[in-house]
Amino acid sequence: MATQQTRLLGKLAVAPSVIVLFLWMIVPLALTIYFSLLRYNLLDPGNESFVGFFNYEYFLSDPAFFAAIGNSLKLVFAVLAISIVGGTLLALLLDQAIVGRNIVRLMVIAPFFIMPTVSALVWKNMFMHPVSGLFAWLMKSVGLEPIDWFAQYPLTAVIIMVAWQWLPFATLILLTAIQSLDEEQKEAAEMDGTPPISYFYYIVLPHLARPITVVILIETIFLLNVFAEIYVTGSGGPAGNLPYLVYFQGLLNFDVGGASAGGIVAVVLANIVAFFLIRMIGRNLEG
């Protein structure tokens, strides 16, 4: 509620942000769609020609494409599962009366602030190196054969390091949510003599439903876009995941048309997720 004069000023104040964001969204997208319909190779400039859906057909017949989508989805699901389950348990633990809780919380949250390239290199070399990595040493010292992570299980290796970064995020958000649980509600449950398991199931979990959904959706957005970890470790070749494949096709193979088609697929995929996320956050806005 405000006067007309204030509302007019308001429109002027919002306009710059809206205009730049609109351009940022629409111009690259339109160009990507346009390129995806062309035969356009950077090594062969001046010979662009319209090829309709050829790039999409080419992509759809390329096994690397499906491998990349598969890897993208596996990465998302695995990291989600680890961070939600682990994050809930860890948040419950950190909500207990712990000596030095603030320090523990600092240690737990730290990985989230680590630059993806750092995390990738540290994990790849110092932990997962098949000969001198810490994991290899641990396995040898209990008499097992060390694993060559990036040769044998490249996706698992990436999942471990990405989950290490996102578990803290889930923990932090769920801990914040648990701590906002009404103290009186806790006391009422205690007066009712609710056993811990039922307390978790009937009181805590419903309270966490919304933050968990938020975590799932936000992590999905970011996880679909994981790039640096795969770029730096080179795991899985071109089919590392969808963003990496697009980069590979466009900036390493110079196939602008093909890469654009892959980009559009990524946009569609993200939009399916975004649809649900936007709706949910919008509903929270009402409250």
Partner 1 sequence: MARAVSVRRRTIATAAAWLIGFLIFFPILWTIITSFKTELEAFSTPPKFLFFEWTTENYGIVQERSNYLRFVSNSLILSIGSTLVALLFAIPAAWAMAFAPAKRTKDLLMWMLSTKMMPPVGALIPVYLIFRDMGLLDSRGGLIAVLFLMNLPIIVWMLYTYFKEIPGEILEAARMDGASLWKELVYVLAPMAVPGIASTLLLNVILAWNEAFWTLNLTTSAAAPLTAFIASYSSPEGLFWAKLSAASTMAIAPILVLGWFAQKQLVRGLTFGAVK
Partner 2 sequence: MGTIVLKDVQKRFGDVTIIPNANLAIENGEFVVFVGPSGCGKSTLLRLIAGLEDVSAGEIIIDGSNAAQLPPAKRGLSMVFQSYALYPHMSVRNNIAFGLKMAGQPKAEIDAKVAKAAQVLNLADYLDRKPRQLSGGQRQRVAIGRAIVRQPKAFLFDEPLSNLDAALRVNMRIEIMQLHKSLGATMIYVTHDQVEAMTMADRIVVLNKGNIEQVGSPLELYNRPDSLFVAGFIGSPKMNFLTGEAATKHQAHTIGVRPEHIALSDRAGEWEGTIALAEHLGADTFLHIDAGRHGRLTVRAAGEYHLGPGSKIWLTPEKGRIHRFDDKGRAIR
CA-angle at 167, arms to 234 and 205, nearest 5°: 145
Nearest residue to 207 via CA among 221, 189, 193: 189
Nearest residue to 90 via CA among 107, 71, 65: 107
Measured CA to CA, the distance from residue 223 to residue 82 in angstroms comes to 13
- By the rule CB under 8 A, 262 interacts with partner 1: yes
- By the rule CB under 8 A, 17 interacts with partner 1: yes
Stretch that binds partner 1, among 55-63, 75-83, 122-130, 147-155 (CB under 8 A): 122-130
- By the rule CB under 8 A, 3 interacts with partner 2: yes
Nearest residue to 170 via CA among 115, 211, 228: 211
Three-state secondary structure of 106-167: HHHHHHHHCCHHHHHHHHHHHHCCCCCCHHHHHHHHCCCCCCCHHHHCHHHHHHHHHHHHHH
Contacted entry of partner 1, partner 2, none for residue 54, CB cut-off 5 to 8 Å set by kind: none
What residues numbered 90-109 form the site for partner 1, per CB under 8 A?
A: 90, 93-94, 96-101, 103-109
Binding mask 36-75 for partner 1 (x = CB under 8 A): ----------------------------------------
Contacted entry of partner 2, partner 1, none for residue 90, CB cut-off 5 to 8 Å set by kind: partner 1
CB of 3 to partner 2, least distance (A): 5
Contacted entry of partner 1, partner 2, none for residue 4, CB cut-off 5 to 8 Å set by kind: partner 2
Residues making contact with partner 2 (CB under 8 A): 1-5
